[in-house]
A and B are shown apart, each in its own frame.
Chain A
């Protein structure tokens, strides 16, 4: 077909391209000027706000900050020895309650010196798969290090990260996520 038409079409495309670029620029400016800093804690708070279905008192009783403090998923490594500890979003720090649980585990393991364990590290579903694998490994090692401090030899403890692959609670809300951010000590023999 004729050349002028081709040129006309090309010209229209260029104009359109400019328009698209202009729009895109405007949009990105808007994105970057959005207020406030983004920290994981804030993300969770926002998510919590959207979960109006959960009564606030109930959440308060089961979570401190965003660490789970309830007991409905907790099993026993041995009688009176809880099998798991919980973490805040993106964190591997052991809370006071977690340290108490791990001291009980260490005492029991010292008394039962033939037992070996696997510490499984887990993350919630609100992170990318690969990062969560690393995070689970870090959480399991936080628990392992603490057991070692209390006299359990490292060759009795294996760590295994599942990342976000094995949640205990299939809910998509802050309480479910808090139950899934955990490390679980499992007897291996």
Chain B
């Protein structure tokens, strides 16, 4: 990506209160029945900084824009109710220095976020310094905050990092806002879809297209440790698994296989790719080590074995196979031994994806003509269906294992019109189902890890 990660942590002040958590704390293991009222004050900027930033980014009020990024992130979790800025009584600069807590309590705000943007010059280059503070209104104290200095174009990422900090502080879980989603952008009629790889920030901004649409591309997946992606391309009508560096644009075919390779996914350490090889009417699961270039067959069965996914410790692989007659979910050790079926419910089960927390497997289920996204424990017990629709599949976990993103296709009418494919997300609780906005139709989403610095 062009966004060079130039975030420099100049100063991090964690003013932890005497007790480890303040009153405002959210339990995210339940649904969003009682979202926490929160105020995000527009970030304050002095006139000189405003002018400088206007010149750099052509944005009149960057402080306001950053506060909107944070607000939008927090509201979409379903855990927070972001209060209208019109109701705020205190000016941003004064609130940031020392809020008058009664004013914020009056509008029923339990938490307040304030901040300040300053332009800076380091080695004759323009930078922005963004400072934020998180306040507990009822406890009448500051509970967290930090400041970052970065190149001006990185301002949205700072908004995401602040959102992550707030989420972590108030829920006790790691955040997922400073992340990206890679997906397949779709256009054209259903019988001749043009598909391109696309990447965007988690909140739908900064969309970039990584392929031109000349060949069919499917199922991109992030390397959990860096900015590499693996996907399936029909380049020269030879469907093969490819490896793409999204920073340099360099790509290469993975391995030298005598047939179609598909359904790729990285190992948790990012050093291996598991995938299927289809040859002579039989699909088996293979693994290729990207460092040693050694490739190895893991399954050995005349049925279709595909959609493999590693456990986060790398010791196990879950996959789907139709060896019982219909698609069901299996697990095996990562060397291919000890294959065990785990799905026994009514219906057909596919696309198992291991949660980053390790305790659950997300899946697609087809039962009585309906498609479901669900989760089950890794021994197959505790099946829970989160959402039902005409067609949906391809779950991918947020890096904190709290949200699942997937794609959904619509039923066409009698004339075959009205087809669309869109990304959706839903909380693990089964609440908070949301359309994920994309510039075009979209499918096959994959959620990145937190981007780091």
B162 vs chain A, min Cβ distance (A): 25
Given A128-B351, A167-B190: A134 touches B304 (CB 8 Å cut-off): yes
Stretch at the interface among A59-67, A109-117, A136-144: A136-144
Q: In angstroms, how far is the closest chain A Cβ from the Cβ of B265?
A: 10
Task: Decide: A17 and B278 in contact? CB cutoff 8 A.
Answer: no
| Whole-angstrom CA separation of A186 from B402 in the bound complex | 47
Q: A5-B23, A130-B307 are in contact. Are A40 and B348 (CB under 8 A)?
A: yes
Contact with B along A145-182 (1 / 0, CB 8 A): 10000000000000011100111111110001000000
Whether A38 contacts B281 in the complex (CB less than 8 A), given A161-B260, A165-B193, A171-B416, comes out as no
Min Cβ gap B385→A in Å is 7
Q: Are A131 and B281 closer than 8 Å at their CB atoms? A: no
Q: What are the residues of chain B within 8 A of A37 when measuring CB–CB? A: 346
Chain B residue nearest in CB terms to A142: B281
The answer to whether A28 and B383 have CB atoms under 8 Å apart is: yes
A131 & B191 in contact (Cβ 8 Å cutoff): no
Binds A, one of B52-60, B197-205, B360-368: B360-368
Distance (whole angstroms) from the CB of A171 to the closest CB of chain B: 5
Are A131 and B350 in contact, CB atoms less than 8 angstroms apart? yes
A168 to B327, Cβ gap below 8 A?
no
A137/B281 contact (C-beta < 8 A), A1-B138, A13-B27, A129-B394 known: yes
Chain B residues, Cβ within 8 Å of A129: 218-219, 393-394, 443-444
**B341 beta carbon closer than 8 Å to chain A:** no
Contact (Cβ within 8 A) B191 A31: no
* A167 with B281: CB separation less than 8 A: no
A131 with B304, Cβ < 8 A, contacts A17-B30, A24-B384 known: yes
B283 touches A38 (CB 8 A): no
Residue of A nearest to B33 (CB): A16
Q: Is the CB of A43 within 8 A of B369?
A: yes
Closest partner residue, chain A, to B190 (CB atom): A170
A184 interface residue per 8 A CB criterion: no
Please tell me if the beta carbons of A172 and B390 are within 8 angstroms of each other in the complex.
Answer: yes
By the criterion CB–CB under 8 Å, are B416 and A38 in contact?
no
A13-B27, A31-B385 given; A130·B351 CB < 8 A:
yes
Name the A residues within 8 Å of B280 (CB-CB).
Answer: 141
Cβ distance B321 to chain A, nearest Cβ, rounded Å: 10
A53, A138, A168, A172 interface centre (most CB from chain B within 10 Å): A172
Q: How far is the CB of B113 from chain A (nearest CB, A)?
A: 19
Instruction: Indicate if the CB atoms of B281 and A92 lie closer than 8 Å.
Output: yes
List residues of chain B with CB within 8 A of the CB of A40.
Answer: 326, 348
Complex Cα–Cα for A37 and B417 (A): 33
Task: Please tell me if the beta carbons of B191 and A168 are within 8 angstroms of each other in the complex.
Answer: yes
Chain A residues lying within 8 Å of B146, measured Cβ to Cβ, are: none
Q: How far is the CA of A126 from the CA of B327 in the complex (A)?
A: 13
The CA of A169 and the CA of B260, in the complex, are separated in Å by 25
CA distance A46 to B191 in the complex (A): 25
Does B316 sit at the interface, judged by CB under 8 A? no
CA distance A5 to B369 in the complex (A): 49
Per-position binary interface string of chain B over residues 313-324, scored 1 when its CB falls under 8 Å from any chain A CB and 0 otherwise: 000000010100
A71 CB-CB contact with B under 8 Å:
no
User: Which of chain B's residues have a CB closer than 8 A to the CB of A95?
Assistant: none
Bound CA span A7–B177, Å: 30
Closest to B195 in A: A165
Leading 6 A-B pairs by shortest Cβ distance: A141-B281, A170-B416, A170-B190, A134-B283, A137-B278, A128-B350
B: residues with CB less than 8 A from A are 23, 27, 29-31, 33, 138-139, 189-193, 216, 218-219, 232, 237, 239, 259-260, 262-263, 276, 278, 280-283, 304, 306-307, 320, 322, 326-327, 345-348, 350-351, 364, 366-369, 382-385, 390-391, 393-394, 409, 411-412, 414, 416-417, 419, 443-444
* Residue positions of A touching B, CB distance < 8 A: 1, 5-6, 13, 16-17, 20, 24, 28, 31-32, 34, 37-40, 42-44, 46-47, 50, 53, 90, 92, 118, 125-131, 133-135, 137-138, 140-142, 145, 160-162, 165-172, 176
Offer 28 A-B interface pairs, CB within 8 angstroms, sorted by A: A28-B383, A31-B346, A31-B383, A42-B368, A53-B414, A127-B366, A128-B327, A128-B394, A129-B394, A129-B443, A129-B444, A130-B262, A130-B306, A133-B239, A133-B276, A133-B278, A137-B259, A137-B260, A138-B281, A138-B283, A142-B281, A145-B281, A161-B260, A161-B278, A170-B416, A170-B417, A171-B414, A172-B412
